[in-house]
Amino acid sequence: MPVERAARHLLDCLGVAAPPGADGDELSGLLRDALKERRTLLLLDDAADAEQVDALLPDNPRCLVVAVARGPLTGIPDVRPCTVGGLDVRSAVELLERYAGSVRITVDPQAAEALVELCAGQPAALLLAGGWLAARPTASVADLVKRLRALPGEPASTRPLARTFRLAYEALPAAQARALRLLSLAPLGLADAQVLSALAGCSVSTAGSLLDGLVALGFAREADHGQYEVPGCLMPLTAQRLAAEDRDSEVQLARARMLERTVRLLQSCRAVAEPDGSPPAAASPGCPATCASRTAPRPPSGCGPGSPRCSRPPAWPSPTGSSTPWPAGWSPHSSGPSLRTGAPSPPHPSCTGCTGWSWTWPSGAACTASAPPRC
């Protein structure tokens, strides 16, 4: 997590408003000011390096900071290093029970303890193991232990998390595995259904199902504001899989779709914020504020070009930025409200209630059918 995001999150927890556009130094200063008179215990998990921790340290000696990192945090004064082990056996078994259920754990407690040992009590590895068991109700804990020990080229002495990740990842369906790899490209490591839809070139509903499946299997977790994130300890393993299994052209295309979506979001936000009649607002005629809302209403039945409620084709921003009529060969289909990469398709002002339409791009258009735009 970047320092700016961490500082902004801590300020939100303290009830301090952070100014928009503030950089890391300014946010760090605001955080130190907010903690100047407070007695606080600050937990920084999965710290990348000493520089990241130092930027968040308060100047108040009554504050205690606990920073968890994968290596020593050299360069910070008054640090008391200690080694943090995994969960104790009882806590680790309870964590497995949340996924696998108590029956399989109770009938074979020795296998459960062996699984905890193979995972070294690491919560991330245990979550992946529990997700593997949850997806296979007929498999026993002993089956999972046997598979982990028998992984080719993975001796039991290797990193427990890498070994468990490999087993769980290779059991994923192709679409889910690809979605997990592409999440390593998400900005700031955060993604929602719209972001994954842009990266993978799939529908928003499909992206949402993929994200929920990854959460159930322990590969991702829910974050604030309806977003998802891959745990930081899994990101390097996910990025390695992306580099090994996806062609450079596919990765570049995913980045391009993500960039196009981001640019169009910024254009829409600017158009909504500008007063009527200004150049930015005129560039996106009729674009409603609900365009970026996930809860926008479904378009009413029969609302489309040529319908009684839409007597003339809506205008939409062309790739060149000019407002042109609806191109021939494009057709609407009511697949529900969503926000996808590609040109937004705001309804004509005379056609009220037509938000949330998606458009099928004809063959040979700027965007292929694998990434149809939606508004």
How many CA atoms lie less than 13 Å away from 214 in the CB half-sphere? Answer: 33
d(CA 124, CA 164): 9
The two tokens of residue 9 are 């999150």
Q: Which amino acid is at 66?
A: V
DSSP string, 343-369: ---PPPTTSTT-TT-EEEPPTTSSS-T
Bridge partners (DSSP) of residue 44 are: 67
pLDDT of residue 12: 83
Instruction: Give the DSSP H/E element, type plus range, for residue 101.
Output: none
Q: What is the DSSP string of 138-166?
A: T--HHHHHHHHHT-TT--TTS-HHHHHHH
Which two tokens mark 194? 């719209």
DSSP 298: P
Q: pLDDT tens, position by position, for the chain (375 residues)? A: 777 788 888 888 888 887 777 777 788 888 888 888 888 888 888 777 788 888 888 888 888 888 887 777 777 877 788 877 788 899 999 999 888 888 888 889 999 999 999 998 999 999 999 999 999 998 999 999 999 988 876 555 558 889 999 999 999 999 999 999 999 998 878 899 999 999 999 999 999 999 999 999 999 999 888 899 998 889 899 999 999 999 999 999 999 998 988 888 888 887 777 776 666 555 554 444 434 333 333 344 444 444 433 333 344 443 334 333 444 444 343 333 333 333 344 443 333 333 333 333 333 333 333 333 333
What residue spans of the chain are helical by DSSP H?
A: 3-13, 24-34, 50-54, 89-100, 102-107, 109-118, 123-134, 141-149, 160-170, 174-182, 193-200, 204-216, 235-245, 248-273, 279-283
pLDDT of residue 335: 35
